[in-house]
Amino acid sequence: MILVMITASVLPSVLLLLYIWKKDPVPEPFWWLFRSFTCGVLICSFVAAIENIVKTMLFGSGEPTTLLGTTLMAFLVAALPEEGCKLITLHGLLKKNPYFDEHIDGIVYAVCVGLGFATVENIAYVLGEPDNWMGVAISRALLAVPAHYAFAVVMGYYYSVYHFVDRSKAVRMRILLIPVLLHGIYDALAFSGTVNPVIGGMAFFVLVFFCIKMHKYCDRQILAQIKRDMDGVPLTAWREKAGSTTEGEHSSFL
Query: What share of the chain has pLDDT > 70, as a percent?
Result: 91
With a cut of 80, say whether residue 251 has pLDDT above it.
no
Q: What is the mean pLDDT of the chain?
A: 91
Q: 198 to each of 73, 184, 209, 210, 236, how far by Cα in Å?
A: 19, 20, 18, 19, 57
Residue 244 is predicted with a pLDDT of 42
- Sequence-distant (6+) residues with CB within 8 A of 174 are 158
Give per-residue burial for 65-83: e unless 16+ CB within 10 Å, then b: eebebbbbbbbbbbbbbbb
Residue 248 clears pLDDT 50, i.e. is over it: no
In the structure, what pLDDT confidence band is assigned to residue 96 with cuts at 50, 70 and 90?
confident
Task: Inform me whether the pLDDT recorded for 235 exceeds 90.
Answer: no
Average pLDDT over residues 238-243: 43
User: What is the per-residue pLDDT for 129?
Assistant: 93
pLDDT band at 231 (very low <50, low <70, confident <90, very high): confident
pLDDT at 247 over 60: no
**Which pLDDT tens digit goes with each residue over 121-175?**
999 999 999 999 999 999 999 999 999 999 999 999 999 999 999 999 999 999 9
* Listed range (79-93, 101-115, 131-145, 227-241) with the worst mean pLDDT: 227-241
